[in-house]
Amino acid sequence: MSEARRGQIWLADFGVPVGREQGKIRPALVVSADNWNGHAATVTVLPITRTSHDFPTRIEVEATAGNGLDVTSYARCEDIRAISERRLLRALGSVDPVVMLSVSRTLRLFLDT
């Protein structure tokens, strides 16, 4: 059972990347529902990068004291993945509801739901 909550940013260990996957230790935004997170050993996250590439699937997250980021970064909606809760190293903070709304809308478009 994970302590992670939807909308939180955690420092996560994604391990060794394959191809263009995001890897290594980096921030990740939790997007799975809290009722899932409280009962499962996995958490669904978006890796966060400092590079936008002007992709429509990248959601800007400005650095704030509340989210724990030190520079403007981008949630990679195109790289959604479930990871073991053991990959979560420590909580950094949370994003505001406007960011989560943008993430939710972008994930719906990306997943065609």
Identify the band that residue 1 occupies on the pLDDT scale cut at 50, 70 and 90.
Answer: low
Counting the structural domains of the chain, the total is 1
Tell me, yes or no, whether 65 lies in a domain.
yes
Tell me, yes or no, whether 76 lies in a domain.
yes
Tokens 């195109």, residue? Answer: 78
User: What residues make up the domain containing 13?
Assistant: 8-111
CATH code, 61? 2.30.30.110
Tell me, yes or no, whether 2 lies in a domain.
no
- Residue 29 is predicted with a pLDDT of 98
CA-to-CA dists, residue 87 to 22, 58, 67, 101, 106, angstroms: 14, 22, 19, 25, 25
Tell me, yes or no, whether 79 lies in a domain.
yes
Mean pLDDT value of segment 38-57: 94
Report whether pLDDT(17) > 90: no
Greater model confidence, 58 or 16:
58
The C-alpha atoms of residue 63 and residue 50 are separated, in whole angstroms, by 11
Q: In 42-79, which positions are buried (b, 16+ CB within 10 angstroms) versus exposed (e)?
A: bbbbbbbbeeeeeeebbbebeeeeebbbeeebbbbbeb
**What is the per-residue pLDDT across 50-86, written as a single tens digit (0 to 9) for each?**
998 889 999 999 999 999 999 999 999 999 999 999 9
Tell me, yes or no, whether 1 lies in a domain.
no
